[in-house]
C-alpha cells in the first residue's frame, strides 16, 4: 500500500505573477572593493568587562557589567550596572574590586541586568564582542543566558589578550595583563578591577593593538577573525589566493603546481568558505597539506546552492581529486539485494539493474554499512550467509555450518529445510527490501531493549548500528524508487520573493532557473524546458546520474516550501506506508 504525495496545482495557477527564467549559466562578476570585506572603521565593537564572585560559571556569579560601544574610534555609548548575585561577596573579591555585599543588595538580579546589556550591545545585529581574556567573560555571559533560557546570539568575539600576544613580544611588556598593556600604551583610563573602567581601558588597548597589526594586512573584519590563528606563516601568505574569489554560491577548486585539481568543494558563500582554509578553523591535517601544495584557486559561480552542490558532485566524479574522500566514484556505491538462485541469499553488489531497484537497499556509503544491513536482515529471516551456490537438491557430502548449529540459518545445504519453508523467509526478506520495514525494525528494536536490560551495552550498540544501516539504505532506495525513475518533473521553491525552478529528468538535474515577479510563468517554464539537458532513459541504477545527485534533488524538493509544478505522464511520486521514512534514525554510537 502506498501513501501518495499530493501534486501542486498547474503552473499557471501556482506561480501566477512570477516572472521569466534566467539562464542556467551565469557570468563571472568582478568583485568590487566593498566585496573584499567589512572595513574595521565600519565595525561596531562592544567592549565588555565583568566582575564576578569567582572564576567559574556555576560556582560563581556576576557582580558587575561594564561595556563601551565604539565604531570608527568614536564612543557610541556606555553601559554599567552592579548585579546582585544572590550570595555574599567573598572578602578577597571585595579587596580586589572594592565591591561589597552591601553595594549589590539594591542592584538588579541577573535576570534583569542581562536583557538590558544584550539590548545595549546589539550582538544579534552584527556587533562584535570584545574582551580581555574573552573566554572568561563570554563563559559567564553564555551561562547566564542559558540559565535564563535566552538564546545566545553567538557574536564574533575578539580577545585583546590574543591580539596582544600576536602584536607584542616580551621585550615590549613583561606580561599581557590588561594593566601592563594599559601602562605600555599610556591609556587615559587606568584599569582598577571595576567593570566600566576596565572596559574603557580595553577600548584604548584595542585601538593601539589594531594600529600595531595594520602593517600585517589587518584592514577588514575578516582579517581580524584570522590574524590570531596559529597558522603556519607560509600558509597564511597564501591567503592572497582567495582575494579574487567572489561571494555567492558556487564550486571552488584548489589547483596544484602541475595544473592538477587537488580538491573540490562547494559553498553558499565562496569567498567566506575559501578564506577559512587559511585560518585555524581548518583542523584537518590532510587538507592543510593540500592547501600548502595549492598554487591557484578556481571558482565556478552558480545561481543557487543546489546547482553548486550538483556541480561539485559532477566535478569530483570527473576529476577524481586526490584530497576528496567524500563523493568519489559515486557510481560504485554498494547495494544490498537477493541473489537469483534456488536458495537465494543476501549479497552486497556495486552495480544494480534498474529492474532490481524494487527489491534492494542502498546505495550505502561504505561496504561495512551495507554488511551491517545484511546482518540485520539475516537475523530477522534466518537466510543463509554462506556464499556457495547451492543446488536445489543437496549433495550427500554436504555438511552444515556453525550458523545452523546455533539456529541462525535454515541450512538448505544439508536438506534441513525445503524450498517452500526457505521460500517463506525469502519472501519476508523481499518484502523488507521492497519497503515494508515494520517487521525488521520492530525485531531490531526489541533486540536492543533486551540487550540493554541485560546491561550488554556493546552488543546493543552493534544492533543499533545495524538498525541505522537498515533505515539509511531503505530510505535511500525508497526515495530513488519514488523520484529517480520519473521521466521528468519541474519543481519550484520560493526564495526571497522569487521562485527557484528546477527541471529533473530520470533523477538528474537538467536545468535550473529563476522566476521573478511580473511575467507569465507558462512561458518561463517553456524556456526552462528548452534549455534543459537531454537525459536518455538509463538501464541501470545510476545510469543517468549517481544516486547522490538524485538524493540532493529530493532533499531540495522536500524542504523550504517546494512544490511540484509538472510531472510527466501518469508518473506518481509515492513512498511506502511501512517504509523507512516512518522511523527516525537512531543516534550514532
Q: Rounded CA gap, 487 and 505, in Å?
A: 5
Residues in the chain: 589
Do residues 569 and 498 both lie within one domain?
yes
In a domain, 409, yes or no: yes
Among 194, 193, 168, CA closest to 181: 168
- Identify the band that residue 248 occupies on the pLDDT scale cut at 50, 70 and 90: very high
Q: What is the pLDDT of residue 482?
A: 87
Coil, strand or helix at 70: strand
Q: Note the pLDDT of residue 524.
A: 87
| Segments forming the whole domain that contains residue 306 | 230-330
In a domain, 427, yes or no: yes
Residue 585: count other Cβ atoms within 10 Å of its Cβ.
Answer: 11
Asked whether residue 447 falls in the same domain as residue 382, the answer is: yes
CATH number of the domain to which 94 belongs: 3.30.420.10
On whether residue 445 sits in a domain, the answer given is yes
In a domain, 59, yes or no: yes
> From the CB of residue 478, how many other CB atoms can be counted at a distance below 10 Å?
20
Q: Do 250 and 324 reside in the same domain of the chain? A: yes
In a domain, 224, yes or no: no
Cα distance between residue 485 and residue 504, in whole Å = 10
What pLDDT digit, counting tens, does each position of 297-349 carry?
A: 999 999 899 999 999 999 999 999 999 987 677 778 899 999 988 888 899 99
Closest by alpha carbon to 101, among 137, 50, 53?
53
C-alpha cell at 253: 577548486
Domain boundary among 330, 364, 398: 330
424-479 residue pLDDT tens: 889 999 999 999 999 999 999 999 999 999 999 999 999 999 999 999 999 999 98
Answer yes or no: are the C-beta atoms of 190 and 202 closer than 8 Å. Answer: no
Are residues 189 and 117 part of one domain?
yes
The predicted model scores a pTM of: 0.63
Higher pLDDT, 578 or 397: 578
At 33, is the pLDDT very low, low, confident or very high (cuts 50, 70, 90)? very low
4, 132, 193, 404: the catalytic one is 193
Residue 156 among the catalytic residues: no
Q: Which residue has the higher pLDDT, 226 or 67?
A: 67
476 and 542 within one domain:
no
57, 205: one domain: yes
Q: What is the CATH number of the domain that holds 238?
A: 3.40.1440.10
347 and 378 both lie in a single domain:
yes
- Sign of the alpha-carbon torsion through 46, 51, 54, 60: negative
| Res 580 pLDDT > 80 | yes
Calpha distance 304→514 (Å, rounded): 9
Could you tell me if 281 and 355 lie in one domain? no
Q: Which of 455, 482, 509 is the last residue of a domain?
A: 482
> Do the Cβ atoms of 459 and 449 come closer than 8 Å?
no
Q: Is the peptide bond before 363 cis (omega within 30 degrees of 0)?
A: yes
100 and 211 assigned to the same domain: yes
Residue 199 above 60 pLDDT? yes
Residues 6+ apart with CB under 8 A from 60: 52, 53, 54, 140
- In a shared domain, residues 260 and 214: no
- Residue 588 is assigned to a structural domain of this protein: no
CA angle 560, 497, 273 (to 5 degrees): 65
Does residue 453 share a domain with residue 521?
A: no
Q: What is the pLDDT of residue 589?
A: 62
Same domain as 314, residue 237: yes
The distance of Cα 527 from the centroid of its chain, to the nearest Å, equals 34
Domain boundary among 219, 239, 254: 219
Three cell numbers, residue 525: 517554464
Work out the average pLDDT over 84-89.
Answer: 94
Mean pLDDT calculated for residue range 279-295: 86
489-495: strand order across its sheet: 508-515, 498-505, 489-495, 563-567
Amino acid at each position: 500500500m502506498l501513501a501518495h504525495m499530493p501534486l501542486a496545482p498547474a503552473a499557471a495557477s501556482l506561480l501566477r505573477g512570477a516572472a521569466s527564467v534566467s539562464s542556467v549559466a551565469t557570468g563571472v562578476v568582478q568583485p568590487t572593493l566593498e566585496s573584499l570585506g567589512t572595513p574595521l572603521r565600519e565595525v561596531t565593537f562592544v567592549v565588555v568587562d565583568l566582575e564576578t564572585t569567582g572564576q567559574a560559571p556555576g560556582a560563581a556569579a556576576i557582580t558587575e557589567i561594564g561595556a563601551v560601544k565604539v565604531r570608527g574610534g568614536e564612543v557610541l555609548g556606555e553601559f554599567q550596572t552592579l548585579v546582585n548575585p544572590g550570595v555574599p561577596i567573598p572578602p578577597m573579591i571585595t579587596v580586589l574590586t572594592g565591591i561589597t555585599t552591601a553595594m549589590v543588595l539594591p542592584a538588579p538580579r541577573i535576570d534583569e541586568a542581562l536583557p538590558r546589556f544584550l539590548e545595549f550591545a546589539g550582538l544579534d545585529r552584527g556587533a562584535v564582542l570584545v574582551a580581555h581574556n574573552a573566554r572568561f567573560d563570554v563563559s559567564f555571559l553564555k551561562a547566564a543566558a542559558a540559565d535564563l533560557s535566552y538564546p545566545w546570539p553567538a557574536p564574533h568575539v575578539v580577545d585583546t589578550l590574543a591580539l596582544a600576544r600576536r602584536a607584542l613580544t616580551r621585550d615590549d611588556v613583561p606580561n599581557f595583563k590588561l594593566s601592563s598593556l594599559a601602562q605600555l600604551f599610556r591609556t587615559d583610563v587606568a584599569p582598577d578591577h571595576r567593570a566600566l573602567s576596565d572596559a574603557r581601558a580595553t577600548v584604548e588597548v584595542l585601538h593601539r593593538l589594531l594600529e600595531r597589526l595594520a602593517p600585517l594586512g589587518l584592514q577588514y573584519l575578516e582579517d581580524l577573525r584570522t590574524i590570531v590563528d596559529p597558522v603556519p606563516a607560509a600558509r597564511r601568505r597564501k591567503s592572497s589566493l582567495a582575494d579574487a574569489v567572489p561571494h555567492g554560491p558556487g564550486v571552488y577548486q584548489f589547483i596544484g603546481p602541475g595544473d592538477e585539481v587537488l580538491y573540490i568543494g562547494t559553498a553558499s558563500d565562496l569567498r567566506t568558505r575559501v578564506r577559512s582554509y587559511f585560518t585555524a578553523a581548518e583542523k584537518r591535517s590532510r587538507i592543510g597539506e593540500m592547501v600548502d601544495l595549492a598554487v591557484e584557486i578556481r571558482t565556478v559561480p552558480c545561481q543557487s546552492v543546489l546547482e553548486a552542490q550538483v556541480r561539485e558532485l559532477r566535478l569530483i566524479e570527473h576529476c577524481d581529486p586526490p584530497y576528496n574522500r567524500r563523493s568519489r566514484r559515486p557510481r560504485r556505491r554498494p547495494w544490498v539485494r537477493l541473489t537469483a538462485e534456488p536458495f537465494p541469499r543476501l549479497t552486497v553488489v556495486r552495480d544494480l539493474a534498474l529492474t532490481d531497484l524494487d527489491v534492494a537497499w542502498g546505495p550505502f556509503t561504505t561496504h561495512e554499512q551495507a554488511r551491517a544491513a545484511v546482518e540485520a536482515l539475516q537475523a530477522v529471516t534466518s537466510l543463509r550467509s554462506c556464499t556457495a551456490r547451492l543446488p536445489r537438491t543437496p549433495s550427500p557430502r554436504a555438511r552444515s555450518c556453525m550458523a545452523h548449529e546455533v539456529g541462525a540459518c535454515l541450512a538448505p545445504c544439508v536438506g534441513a529445510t525445503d524450498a517452500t519453508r526457505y521460500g517463506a523467509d525469502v519472501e519476508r526478506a523481499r518484502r523488507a527490501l521492497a519497503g515494508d520495514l515494520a517487521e525488521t525494525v520492530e525485531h531490531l528494536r526489541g533486540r536492543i531493549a533486551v540487550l540493554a536490560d541485560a546491561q550488554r551495552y556493546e552488543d546493543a550498540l552493534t544492533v543499533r548500528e545495524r538498525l541505522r544501516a537498515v533505515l539509511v539504505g531503505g530510505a535511500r532506495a525508497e526515495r530513488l524508487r519514488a523520484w529517480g525513475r520519473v521521466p521528468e518533473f519541474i519543481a519550484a521553491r520560493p526564495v526571497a520573493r522569487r521562485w527557484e525552478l528546477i527541471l529533473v529528468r530520470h533523477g538528474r538535474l537538467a536545468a535550473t532557473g529563476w522566476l521573478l515577479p511580473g511575467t507569465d510563468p507558462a512561458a518561463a517554464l517553456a524556456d526552462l524546458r528548452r534549455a534543459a539537458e537531454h537525459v536518455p532513459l538509463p538501464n541501470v541504477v545510476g545510469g543517468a546520474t549517481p544516486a547522490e545527485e538524485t538524493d540532493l534533488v529530493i532533499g531540495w524538493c522536500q524542504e523550504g516550501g517546494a512544490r511540484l509544478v509538472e510531472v510527466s505522464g501518469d508518473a506518481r511520486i509515492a513512498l511506502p506506508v511501512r517504509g523507512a521514512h516512518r522511523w527516525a534514525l537512531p543516534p550514532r554510537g
